[in-house]
Structure 1
Amino acid sequence: MVLRIGYVREHFCSPLLQFAEEDAEKTFTLVECPSGTGQLISRLTNDEIDVAIALTDPLITGIANGSKAYKLVGSYTTTPLNWAVITGVKSPYHKIEDLKDTKIGISRFGSGSYTMAYVLALQNGWSTKDMQFQVNNDIRGLIESVNDGSTSAFLWEHFTTKPFVDAGQCRFIGNIPTPWEAWLIAAHPERAQTEALKTFLQELSNYVQAFDSQESREKKNIDFIKAKFGYPEEDIIAWQKIVGYPKVCHEVSESTVLNTLSVLEKAGVVKSPEGGFKASQFVNTNVAKLV
């Protein structure tokens, strides 16, 4: 079985891209999803991909809200994601506090940009009941919306957005890290055959470990990310200081699942069933180990 792997073409996916380049037997194909995790979930649901490397909070939200299109099968990073809060070049917003009761741009409902807007509200003591959103599909649509005034701001990964800030297309007014490990791996419970998926995760673990080594961080990773994404060396070095990868990809942390659910419930994004959530309901334990 040739697995269809959905991913967002960002620097985080460098180990996956390296794996794809060296996958001589072509055991999987990559399907780029530029709109982010909301698009990844949609493609899992619509039988366009079998596996997704995606953001923790939207994946968990989807399962909590009843999706049967996927379950968690692994972990991809062990560190939070640093979300930038971004506004237009000439907008009247200069600090996060200015955004209260304004319309926030998101890529899709259910995406990371959507759930993190709730986290931002919670951290600032704002009501989450009447939050306003505008869907703008991808980062270019989001940048356009903050500059034409249809939205006040949007949230996106810091280093992915920095080239647009450096080019004078938008402004940073703050940052907010996720209260959870940033990236998980999800797969359709039937389309992604167990043995093929286990093999993929074992091999991906090897590439993740190699990428995370001190030797790779000093030169190979920098050269690879420069070539693939065009980031300046200082940004790559700064990013590497705040990112960590797991020793194996076929494990899911129970505390990550439950802690994420706790925050999402406070934000009103998910509602706990009677008796509470159980982490085992979110994980395909035929493939991944719940730790």
Structure 2
Amino acid sequence: MVLRVGYVREHFCSPLLQYSENDEGKTFTLVECPSGTGQIIRRLADDEIDVAIALTDPLIAGIVKGSKDYKLVGSYVTTPLNWAVITGTHSKYQAIGDLKGTTLGISRPGSGSQTMASVMALQQGWPTGSVDFKVNDDIHGLVKSVNDGSTSAFMWEWFTTKPWADRGDVRFIGSVPTPWPSWLIAAHPSPDRAPPVAVRTFLANLTTYVRAFDSDEKRAKANVEFIREKFGYPESDIKAWQLTVRYTEDCTAIPGKVLVDTLNTLEGAGVVEKQPLPGFEVERLINPEVVRLV
């Protein structure tokens, strides 16, 4: 069986791309999801992908809100994601505090751009339930919206959007790192679509590429060359990004504390509703036939 793996074509997915290029048995195929995690979750529901590498917060929030389309099956990136807060070239907004009471752009409902906007509101002390959002699909729509004034700002990963800022298409007015490890792996719970044995094999092999990519040896030269070739980023940006990111030692395990801490922050931000005692049961977030809680 060939697994369909959804991903966002960003530098974070370099180990996955390297695995794909060397997958001689063609055990999986990549399905690009340029609009981000919201699109990935939709494609899991629509039977367009079976496995997904996506952002921690919307994945967890989706399950808590009742999605039956996926369960968590693995870890990927263990460091926070640095979300840039981005506005139009000539907009009046100069700092995050200026955004209170304005309309923020998001890619899709349930996306990381939406959940992190709520986290930003929590950190700023704004009423989290009063944040207004406008869906703009992808980075192109988001950039257009902050420049035509239909939104005040949007949030996207810092280095992914830095080329837009370097060209003068947008401005950065701040950043908000995630209070949790930034990427997890999910899969559809049906054994017909994502057989546990096939998913475990995929994760075990991905671990090999992740460990190699995260090594000091690869970071010194090979990673820089790979990312520059695939994504066209300047060497200085690649080296700066590498200083901020670490990958998991084992894609087949998820720390339970990560799930608990993320849920508590999402609850505080109003992204998920408060649970009755005894609170969140992290075991129902995972597929125990595939992944271990540690």
| Same fold? TM cut 0.5 | yes
Equivalent residue in structure 1 for 2:282, among 272, 279, 282: 279
Specify the code of the residue in structure 2 equivalent to 1:279.
V
Moved more, 262-271 or 37-46: 262-271
1:257 matched residue in structure 2: 259
How far the C-alpha of 1:218 sits from its partner, in A, is: 0.5
2:122 matched residue in structure 1: 122
2:95 matched residue in structure 1: 95
Task: Look up the SS of the partner of 2:174 in the other structure.
Answer: strand
Give the total of aligned pairs: 291
Does residue 19 of structure 2 align to residue 19 of structure 1? Answer: yes
2:163 matched residue in structure 1: 163
CA distance in 1, matches of 2:131, 2:275: 24
Task: Look up the SS of the partner of 2:73 in the other structure.
Answer: strand
1:8-87 map, 5 Å: 8-87=8-87
CA distance in 2, matches of 1:75, 1:186: 9
1:125-204 map, 5 Å: 125-190=125-190, 191-204=193-206
How far the C-alpha of 1:135 sits from its partner, in A, is: 0.2
CA distance in 2, matches of 1:212, 1:247: 9
How far the C-alpha of 1:2 sits from its partner, in A, is: 0.4
Give the aligned CA root-mean-square deviation in angstroms. Answer: 0.6
CA distance in 2, matches of 1:284, 1:269: 23
Provide Cα deviations, 1:202-239, integer angstroms capped at 9, x if missing partner. Answer: 00000000000001000000000000000000000000
CA distance in 2, matches of 1:122, 1:131: 10
How far the C-alpha of 1:129 sits from its partner, in A, is: 2.0
How far the C-alpha of 1:50 sits from its partner, in A, is: 0.2
Specify the code of the residue in structure 2 equivalent to 1:193.
P
How far the C-alpha of 1:274 sits from its partner, in A, is: 2.2
Specify the code of the residue in structure 2 equivalent to 1:96.
I
Specify the code of the residue in structure 1 equivalent to 2:264.
S
Give TM-score, length-normalised by structure 2.
0.98
Stretches (4+) displaced over 3 A:
none
Provide Cα deviations, 1:103-150, integer angstroms capped at 9, x if missing partner. Answer: 000001100000000010010101112211100000110000000000
Specify the code of the residue in structure 2 equivalent to 1:29.
T
Structure 2 stretches of 5 or more lacking a match?
A: none
Structure 1 stretches of 5 or more lacking a match?
A: none
How far the C-alpha of 1:267 sits from its partner, in A, is: 1.4
How far the C-alpha of 1:272 sits from its partner, in A, is: 3.1
1:225 matched residue in structure 2: 227
CA distance in 2, matches of 1:120, 1:249: 29
CA distance in 2, matches of 1:96, 1:272: 27
CA distance in 2, matches of 1:187, 1:249: 13
Equivalent residue in structure 2 for 1:289, among 264, 279, 292: 292
CA distance in 2, matches of 1:111, 1:269: 11
How far the C-alpha of 1:268 sits from its partner, in A, is: 1.4
Specify the code of the residue in structure 2 equivalent to 1:274.
P
Task: Look up the SS of the partner of 1:104 in the other structure.
Answer: strand
Task: Look up the SS of the partner of 1:129 in the other structure.
Answer: helix
1:227-246 map, 5 Å: 227-246=229-248
How far the C-alpha of 1:278 sits from its partner, in A, is: 1.0
Provide Cα deviations, 1:161-200, integer angstroms capped at 9, x if missing partner. Answer: 0000001100000011000000000000112001100100
Task: Look up the SS of the partner of 2:77 in the other structure.
Answer: coil
Identity level (%): 64
Equivalent residue in structure 2 for 1:212, among 214, 226, 229: 214
Task: Look up the SS of the partner of 1:47 in the other structure.
Answer: coil
